[in-house]
Structure 1
Amino acid sequence: MASAMSVFSLLVSSLLLALFSPGAQADVKRYQFDIVMRNVSRLCHEKSMVTVNGRYPGPTMYAREGDRIIVNVTNHVEYNMTIHWHGLKQRRNGWVDGPAYVTQCPVRSGASYTYDFNVTGQRGTLWWHAHIAWMRATVHGAIVVLPAAGVPYPFPKPDDEAEVVILGEWWNADVETVERQGRMLGMAPNMSDAHTVNGKPGPLFPCSQKHTYVLQVQRGKTYLLRVINAAVNDELFFSIAGHTMTVVEIDATYTKPFVASTILLSPGQTTNVLVRANQRPGRYFMVAKPFNGVPIPADNQMATAILQYAGVPTSVVPSLPQLMPETNNTDFVTAFQDKLRSLNSPQYPANVPLAVDRHLLYTIGLNIDPCASCLNQSRLAASLNNITFVMPRTALLQAHYYGLKGVFTADFPDRPPARFNYTGAPLTTGLGTSLGTRLSKITYNTTVELVLQDTNLVSAESHPFHLHGYNFFVVGRGVGNFDPANDPAKYNLVDPPERNTVGVPAGGWTAIRFRADNPGVWFMHCHLEVHTSWGLKMAFLVEDGSGPDESVLPPPKDLPKC
């Protein structure tokens, strides 16, 4: 491993367009984020790492609903790189979505690429991250989209917006090396060595230096915390000792407020909460720890930060949270998810598709495939509908736009080719999984219902799935096998949660609905990076419509070449 610090430099300028009355010309403000190279604060082990502007986590980007954002990315490291703007829909403009070999070829070492996009019809907390291999472990940061000028929050106005809280994972080694070693052995890569809160693990880890994030508050004030799970492979609980949180937003969509002592975030998800600093002045631990609903080896390390009242000396011992859920507490997770409801107000309606044009059922499988070069002559793999997705060497969107042949086929099956008792006794032999770069073609404006069904192939596991280019409504979920005759009657079609990333419960299913009104090629994958790297991914090819604003925009001139 190189001893010098590797820095992936991100040069960001933002054109923020303040919104006025219809027809009025928007004000334009320009911001420049300077590229810097400096040492990143080290945790329990000294290593080189890839960062943005020399920071871990990277810089927070601020915009307002309706703004235009321009980001120039310059790659100064040896690895290929892309940036994904997680949760931004990028209407008709998949060229800036960011997943490598899906919507663009990577930015090579020494090269640059300008991401130029509008923030349309969205506001709230999102995030950006690298979207190639495991680089998002350290290459990530927050996106804060404020409401349009003069538009209030649909919940009590906080006294202050506290800093963004980013939950992450840390390896005492280069993450690309960790992933590569696991792949060569045919096994799961090593689990992370620590969890972090804003890049710091807290004093409970056995580090010579106790790096701890501290959030200072004033007693009596209410704060809006923007919490992001940027972990690579872990779903995380988050709580604050002695304090409750009022959930008001998930994945940049407003929710019906409810109070929680602990919240759960899958990798890729964001949650905004209101916190009232109403306790005795002191120091209180903020804690992030993993959720794992199945009895397999799991990372159980707890990261801590401190919520500190102004005027309290740092010598005061922080209070630990009480009654945090156990790592395998699926009942708590189910109850928490049951409380998530869209706001569904006149200003922010829940436009749930009621009539469905296309019904899809995708089974999630873990496989054991033969591998002559691996330690055990086999390797772990993953599949959707028995297909382990193979990444092309030409970006799928480019192949679609230019009509290139031989890059992909548009025949991804709507249902699994083999039906069985998906969540019954474990099946360790697999069901004839195939390799392929196969897309699902969808006619423009089609309403889609997709049921994601976990299986007990090798092992049942929970899976957070992220769909690029869209939000969707989580209309139902359950344990066991999805029953198409009876389960739809239990759907919430009034105010289901609207998200861009959703968890599929271990040994269960989740049903989502969306309208395919954003043309292009849009990635869908498990947001556990280990499963994505094993092939648990696919893509939708949404065809152009017939109207003038219903087709993919032309590609930018500086689009990277493969």
Structure 2
Amino acid sequence: MGETQYLAFLVGILALSTLVGLNAESPYRYYDLEITYGTVSPLGVSQRAILVNGQLPGPTMDCETNDNIIVNVINKLDEPFLMTWNGMWQRRMSWQDGVLGTNCPIPPHSNWTYRMQAKDQIGTYSYYPSTSLHRTGGGFGGFNIHRRPVIPSPYPEPAQQFTLTVGDWYKTDFKLLRKNLDLGQAMPVPDGILINGHPKNTVFTSEAGKTYMFRVANVGTMLSVNVRIQGHMLKLVEVEGSHVLQEMYESLDVHPGQSMSFLVTLHGMVKDYHIVASARFTKKHLVGRAILHYTGSTTPPADPLPVGPTYQIHWSMKQARTLRWNLTANAARPNPQGSYHYGGIQITRTLILANSAGKINGKKRYAVNQVSYVNPDTPLKLADYYNIPDVFNLNTIKDVPTPGKRLEYGTSVVGLALHDFVEIVFQNKEKTLQSWHLDGHNFFVVAYGAKKWTPAMRKKYNLVDSVWRTTVQVYPNSWTVVLAAVDNKGMWNLRSEIWHRRYLGQELYFRVWNDEKSLLSEADIPPNALKCGKAAKY
């Protein structure tokens, strides 16, 4: 071995030992998630659902920041399956992302083990299926990352924490919904709203005078929901891993794929109160209910339900602008969140991403910048790793939409350099709300606006204390701008959280790359990686 090779070997060993040491000093948590079909009837109709460990929703997964998470997913369905971790950073590990661009699906009647680390994260998240239209059939649950005892909290410790998975639900079997979409039919409006798998009567027991934390994740597939508690104010404290200014709200909008935490102090009379999650921006009156039960109460919650917003888009956008980063609170590390001055970083690339609906060969499709995404047989990450040609290229999608261009099929991958600072403009010219999620990264939501974005809008950006999150809504006939430091190397999914739109092509991938191979910037391919498509022979 020559001197240069020997030095390279030592550097590699040092990097590996650093990573191993990092993992070794953090606890390990092990989970088994068994995915099966089961029969449920939350809306009064007996139907097939996707259960996790026999439950809908699945068990809430709890850990502390920096814990190592080992999740064995056992697929007992009759078709391939993947689970994705909504909001989990997957630092250095896009191999574990659980989407078809990075993972081969878990075959029926087999299992695959995810290995992740909740690196430098504290917050409220969720998990759910990423393949086919499985998410409309269930398979979801809460995922909470707690602080370590040595990390101070910007609010007093609550007496107890409750996890609420809220979202829309269909009476129709998910396979029939999928078949109808494949035939070109439109997706119907959901039939109801569930809170923890039920449309009503889930009970959260608490004591007068104490303060409780409610962790809420919208695991639905189409509808925004408004959450409120009869006779109580909500103090928002966290949004997708970021502490926010602790404002008081009568109710909060939670859009598809989003999650947040708020505190509620029980200052009312000893009786029961309605917890309500109602659909937004739809003609259907859909409401899910639960009960806040004061210990000792013998009085059921009184009607009517607390009134919430329905169509008011301006109301929701105004509320969204009040969400601000808490600059003095620490995150998962002792330094204040506001020590990262994102407003002073030079933008290196601007992407204007316009969602669009249309038809290809007479069938309904959705697209980004006129390209409707098609999953290749070989995951993008495997193709990239093994240098397999003709799976994707970086010229399929343009940085800005092309006026007058018709929709076309393609495998959209945007090439970005590691540590680029990207301005992403989500332009929505349609009459429905959109929701977008970026795997592997958080971004700063710096502006919302009506109609069409122009460069002049940059004067209105909040470059001081915008909330740092993973999922953002784009209002009808409006735009939203986020700033993202793409500092996580890998292949990362940017997708619509309106699930039938994603199923029919409204997604793309970011290839965040540099040519330096180092375990400090990206973990190597896991030894249990599934191989499929053109990568099956490797």
Asked if these proteins are the same fold (TM beyond 0.5), I'd say: yes
2-side partners of 1:248 and 1:441: how far apart?
Answer: 35
Matched residues in 2 for 1:32 and 1:437: separation?
A: 34
* Equivalence for 2:448: 477
The structure 2 residue matched to 1:446, chosen from 416, 420, 426, is 420
* Alpha carbons 2:36, 2:50 under 8 Å: kept: no
Q: Is 2:369 the partner of 1:385?
A: yes
Residue of structure 1 in register with 2:9 after alignment: none
Residue 525 (1) aligns with residue 495 (2): yes
Q: Secondary structure, in 3 states, of the residue corresponding to 1:407?
A: coil
8 Å Cα contact 2:240-2:470 kept in structure 1: yes
1:409-430 deviation line (CA, Å, top 9, x unaligned):
11144433534xxxxxxxxxx7
Aligned match of 1:160: 160
Identity, % of aligned positions: 26
Deviation digits for residues 525-556 of structure 1, max 9, x if unmatched?
Answer: 11000111121111111113537345432222
- 1:82-121 matches, within 5 Å, as 82-99=82-99, 101-121=100-120
Aligned residues: 502
Counterpart pick for 1:405 among 385, 389, 397: 389
Q: What do the CA deviations read for 1:43-91 (whole angstroms, capped 9, x no partner)? A: 2111222111000000111111111000011111102110111111112
Question: 2:461 matched to 1:491?
Answer: yes
Q: Distance in 2 between matches of 1:36 and 1:367?
A: 34
Q: Do 1:240 and 1:321's aligned partners in 2 also have CA atoms closer than 8 Å? A: no
Distance in 2 separating the partners of 1:454 and 1:98 = 27
Query: 1:39 Cα shift?
Result: 6.0
Instruction: Identify if the C-alpha distance between structure 1 residues 27 and 445 changes in structure 2 by more than 3 Å, giving closer, same or farther.
Output: closer
Mapped pair 1:362 → 2:360? no
Deviation at 1:390, TM superposition (A): 1.3
**1:287-319 CA deviation, whole Å, 9 max, x = no partner?**
111111xxxx65431111111111112x62434
Gap change, CA 1:477 and 1:37, over 3 Å in 2: closer
Instruction: Tell whether the 8 Å contact from 2:224 to 2:255 is kept in structure 1 after alignment.
Output: yes
**Aligned-partner Cα distance in 2 for 1:370–1:39:** 36
Aligned to 1:423: none
Shift of 1:33: 5.0
Q: How does 1:114-133 map to 2 (within 5 A)?
A: 114-133=113-132
Residue 375 of structure 1 is matched in structure 2 by: none
- Counterpart of 1:189, as a letter, is M
1:106-140 superposed Cα distances (whole Å, 9 cap, x missing partner): 00111111100111111111111111122123101
AA aligned opposite 1:61: M
Query: Counterpart in 2 of 1:195?
Result: 193
1:289-438 equivalence runs, <5 A: 289-292=278-281, 298-313=283-298, 316-325=300-309, 327-345=310-328, 346-349=335-338, 350-352=340-342, 354-371=345-362, 379-419=363-403, 431-438=405-412
- Secondary structure of the structure 1 residue equivalent to 2:78: coil
SS at match of 1:285: strand
> For 1:206-221, what aligned pairs fall within 5 Å after superposition?
212-221=201-210
Q: In angstroms, what is the RMSD of aligned CA positions? A: 2.2
Counterpart-to-counterpart distance in 1, 2:279 and 2:520: 42
Q: 1:77 to 1:39 in 2, by over 3 A?
A: closer
Structure 2 CA distance for aligned equivalents of residues 546 and 103 of structure 1:
20
- 1:166-198 CA-partner distances (Å, limit 9, x unpaired): 1023222321221221331x2212332221000
* CA 1:329–1:77: 2 relative to 1, 3 Å: same
Change (3 A) 1:29 1:117: closer
**Alpha carbons of 1:549 and 1:347: their partners in 2 closer, same or farther (altered >3 Å)?**
farther
User: Cα distance 1:332–1:409, how it changes in 2: closer, same or farther (>3 A)?
Assistant: same
Q: 2: CA distance between counterparts of 1:24 and 1:193?
A: 45
Q: Are the counterparts in 2 of residues 545 and 551 from structure 1 also a CA contact under 8 Å?
A: no
Give the distance between the partners of 2:285 and 2:341, measured in 1 at CA. Answer: 39
**CA contact 2:36–2:77 (8 Å) conserved in 1:** no
Q: Pick closer, same or farther for the CA change 1:55–1:23 going to 2, 3 Å.
A: closer
Contact 1:289 1:303 in 2 (8 A): yes
Shift of 1:32: 5.4
Q: Distance in 1 between matches of 2:36 and 2:176?
A: 23
Q: Where does structure 2 lack aligned partners over 5 or more consecutive residues?
A: 1-20, 329-334, 533-538
CA distance in 1, matches of 2:428, 2:37: 44
Distance in 2 between the 1:436 and 1:177 partners? 26
Q: Which residue of 2 aligns with 1:254?
A: 243
| Shift in CA distance, 491/140, structure 1 to aligned 2, threshold 3 Å | same
1:149, CA displacement in angstroms?
2.7
Output the amino acid matched with 2:441. Y
Contact 1:165 1:225 in 2 (8 A): yes
Q: Which residue of 2 aligns with 1:548?
A: 518
> What one-letter code is carried by the residue in structure 1 that aligns with 2:287?
M
Counterpart in the other structure of 2:536: none
Distance 1:194 1:170, change over 3 A: same
Q: CA deviation at 1:30?
A: 5.1
Q: Which residue of 2 aligns with 1:50?
A: 50
Other-structure match for 1:5: none
CA distance in 2, matches of 1:558, 1:240: 46
Structure 1 residue runs without a partner (length 5+): 1-21, 203-211, 372-378, 420-429
Task: Find the aligned partners of 1:36 and 1:434 in 2 and give their Cα distance.
Answer: 35
Separation in 2 of the partners of 1:452 and 1:443? 21
Decide whether the 8 Å contact of 1:252 with 1:270 is kept in 2. Answer: no
Q: 3-state DSSP class of the match of 2:245?
A: strand
Query: 2:106 is aligned with what amino acid?
Result: V
Query: Residue 47 of structure 2 aligns to a residue in which SS?
Result: coil
Distance in 1 (CA, whole Å) between partners of 2:431 and 2:198 is 32
Partner of 1:516: 486
Q: State whether residues 241 and 320 of structure 1, in contact with CA within 8 Å, keep that contact through their aligned partners in structure 2.
A: no
Residue type of the alignment partner of 1:144:
N
Give TM-score scaled by structure 1 length: 0.85
- Within 5 A, what are the aligned runs for 1:266-285? 266-285=255-274
Change (3 A) 1:29 1:169: same
Shift of 1:407: 0.8
Paired letter, 1:329: Q
**In 2, Cα distance between equivalents of 1:23 and 1:323:** 49
More helix by share: 2
Residue equivalent to 2:332: none
| Compared CA separation, residues 408 and 300, structure 1 to 2 (3 A) | farther
Tell me the SS of whatever aligns to 1:337. Answer: helix
